[in-house]
Amino acid sequence: MISKINSAVLYGIDSLAVQVEADISSGLPAFDIVGLPDSAVKESRERVRSAIKNCGFSFPAKRITINLAPANLRKEGPSFDLPIAAGILCTTGDIPQRAAQSFFMAGELSLDGSIRPIHGVLSMVCMAKEAGLQKCILPIENAAEGALVEDMEIYPVRDLRQLSDFLKGVEKGSYSISPYQVDLQALWKKEREQNQLLDFSHMKGQEAAKFAAEIAASGAHNLLLVGPPGSGKTMLAKRLPSILPDMTFEECIELTKIYSIAGLLDQKEALITQRPFRSPHHTISPSALTGGGRIPKPGEISLSHHGVLFLDELPEFQRTALEVMRQPLEDGKVTISRVNGTLTFPADFMLVAAMNPCPCGYLGNSEKCHCTQNEIAKYHSKISGPLLDRIDLMAEMPAVRFEELGGQTKAESSADIRARVVEAHQIQVKRYENEGILFNAQLTPAMIEKYCPLGEAENNLLQSAFLRMGFSARAYHRVLKVARTIADLNHSNQITSRHLASALQYRSLDRKYMM
């Protein structure tokens, strides 16, 4: 007798349909799994055997063959435990086959038959919906995540015994388990949790750098902060998420998929509604940054999707690690090739980096800095020109003066700055509603010609700066994008010379330190 159960395998941030076929035949007792299973899938034989016995079912002493179709697709992970066990129980008559075939199933089994949570459930349920299925059986801990997909019925089960009783009821037309319900709008529209410990009102001075952060947040631009130790570079970067605009529901779903697959999704919060802020250590490897593994998993740049990737002490990172970001910064995605396949992960993130002006950090201070020109040049050479070319804003942060630290003047709060950022973002959303983008940083060269026209005076100013500063074509376009964002912050439809001059000012720092 053959039974068939619907399941899925993760492939990048998406899932592919897998049909778990179970066959029991006469012969010497054996339990084989075929269809390119990895070690975790092969080990499911022992988990399934013990789970079936410990739930009071009789494990057949016959030849059992499990086929994971399609057979040419590599299968990994413990999510096939539940469909394999259900397939065997269908062949023994403990579960009605007709009822089981109408469900999608995924879950890991404990030896006592209880069903444990797995990674990537949101992606799997999305695939099940596309395949025409409407009902899913999932672990209780994954029910809220699966219920994020609209028009899908999610039935959480505790163990194999409850699964058998539930499907027997379905065969008779009664459901002993109610579909799990989640209020999507309440999850999406819940109030922003403001962390009072990370507010711009606690930062004294550095007004130019704060405005650069405001521009970066408004248009999703990349930002480089340069200054001596203790000038507030890290402090400013950590407060950047407090002024970012809210994500759309589609962005929340896409980001939740990534975190679910990476195993970083908090089960208490099924939907990620806050833009991520990732700050990896400078010892990170290139594969950890982009993603890797035999079957690649998302790296830090994908975990920063729709959010901020902060690289503190930029020159201390491996040169190879920094260079792998060049293509993702341009394309908004990263493609990873391995023996088992080629996967593409989304990586549309804001790069925020911080560095010292010299190895000791006190360049210009004759009492503290004793770095030679060769040492300074070697330090700066760790950051390549092509990577710098992809950074839109460069802000200098000098040492904060005592008068600023001890003054009683209260700095502007994150809430006040965020209000302006949100207004500028809404202008962009309305402008690009038919273009498929949300921020000025996502403008293509064709869109720049359409949405960033310049007058004669502005064109002359940009031409003069282009020739004097030796801009590349990419730098030319990025200056226009930043000028467009500054104009939006000023509620101006046209880019004026003042907006352009401000954008150029934040583009000239590399000529001061990197030449």
Determine, yes or no, domain membership for 276: yes
Residues 24 and 68 in one domain: yes
What percent helix, strand, coil does the chain show, rounded to 5?
Answer: 45, 15, 40
The CATH number of the domain holding residue 238 is 3.40.50.300
First to last CA, the chain: 75
Q: What confidence score (pLDDT) does residue 367 get?
A: 84
Determine, yes or no, domain membership for 108: yes
pTM of the model: 0.90
CB-based contact 295:76 (threshold 8 Å): yes
Using the 3D structure, point to which of 182, 217, 232 is the last residue of a domain.
182
CA distance 36 to 157: 28
Q: What confidence score (pLDDT) does residue 191 get?
A: 44
| 212, HSE (Cβ side, Cα atoms, 13 Å) | 27
Residues 204 and 350 in one domain: yes
Residues 155 and 267 in one domain: no
Determine, yes or no, domain membership for 99: yes
CA distance 498 to 343: 44
CA distance 329 to 343: 17
Determine, yes or no, domain membership for 83: yes
Tokens of 479: 């200056």
Alpha-helix residue ranges (DSSP H) falling in 355-506? 373-380, 385-389, 402-406, 414-431, 445-451, 456-469, 473-489, 497-505
Determine, yes or no, domain membership for 502: yes
Determine, yes or no, domain membership for 87: yes
CB-based contact 154:237 (threshold 8 Å): no
- The position carrying tokens 């007058």 is 455
Q: Are strands 223-226 and 393-396 parallel, antiparallel or unpaired?
A: parallel
The CATH number of the domain holding residue 99 is 3.30.230.10
Residues 232 and 278 in one domain: yes
Please choose, from the candidates 33, 174, 159, the residue with its C-alpha nearest in 3D space to the C-alpha of residue 108: 159
Residues 230 and 160 in one domain: no
Residues 209 and 118 in one domain: no
Phi-psi region of 237 (alpha: psi -120 to 50; beta: other; left: phi over 0): alpha
Using the 3D structure, point to which of 132, 154, 182 is the last residue of a domain.
182
Q: What confidence score (pLDDT) does residue 366 get?
A: 80
Alpha-helix residue ranges (DSSP H) falling in 136-243? 143-146, 160-171, 184-188, 207-219, 233-239
Residues 14 and 143 in one domain: yes
Determine, yes or no, domain membership for 274: yes
Residues 259 and 114 in one domain: no
Please choose, from the candidates 282, 261, 259, 288, the residue with its C-alpha nearest in 3D space to the C-alpha of residue 271: 259
Please choose, from the candidates 122, 127, 115, the residue with its C-alpha nearest in 3D space to the C-alpha of residue 144: 122
Cβ neighbours of 416 (radius 10 Å): 12
What residues contact 56, with CB distance under 8 A and at least 6 apart?
A: 161
Residues 153 and 250 in one domain: no
Q: What is the number of structural domains in the chain?
A: 2
139 prior amide bond cis, ω within 30 = no
Using the 3D structure, point to which of 182, 209, 236 is the last residue of a domain.
182
Question: What tens-digit pLDDT sequence spans the chain (515 residues)?
Answer: 789 999 999 988 889 999 999 999 988 999 999 999 988 899 999 999 999 999 999 999 999 999 999 998 889 889 999 999 999 999 999 999 999 999 999 999 999 999 999 999 999 999 999 999 999 999 999 999 999 998 999 999 999 999 999 999 999 988 999 999 887 777 766 544 444 568 898 888 888 999 999 999 999 999 999 999 989 999 999 999 999 999 988 899 999 999 999 988 887 778 898 899 999 999 999 999 998 777 788 999 999 999 999 999 999 999 999 999 999 999 999 988 877 678 889 999 999 999 999 999 888 888 888 899 899 989 988 899 899 999 999 999 998 887 777 767 778 899 999 999 999 999 999 999 999 899 999 999 999 999 999 999 999 999 999 888 888 899 999 999 999 999 999 999 999 999 999 999 998 766 655 54
Residues 26 and 120 in one domain: yes
Q: What confidence score (pLDDT) does residue 194 get?
A: 43
Residues 243 and 98 in one domain: no
Residues 204 and 170 in one domain: no
Determine, yes or no, domain membership for 194: no
Q: Which domain holds residue 359?
A: 200-513
